[in-house]
Structure 1
Amino acid sequence: MPHSPTSNRLIPLAVYFASAFILHLIWEVMQMPLFESGDAPFLSTFWMCFKATATGDMLFMLTLFLTVVIIHKDLWWLSDSTSYSHPGTWIIQVIVGALLAVSFELWAVHVVNRWVYASMPVLPIIGVGLTPLLQMTLIPIASTLFSWKILKHE
Structure 2
Amino acid sequence: MSSDVHALARTVSEPKLAKDVSANEQQFWNSDPPSIPPILWLTAIHAKWAIQASQRAPFFALQLYHLALASQHCVHHLANEISTNDNGSSLDLSLSQADDLADLIDDLGDCIEAASSQAVANDPSKEEEKLDRIFNGLSALNGDVAERNKVDEPPGDNTLQ
Higher RCO, Cα 8 Å, sep 6+: 1
TM-score, normalised relative to structure 2? 0.30
TM-score by length of 1: 0.31
CA radius of gyration, larger in = 2
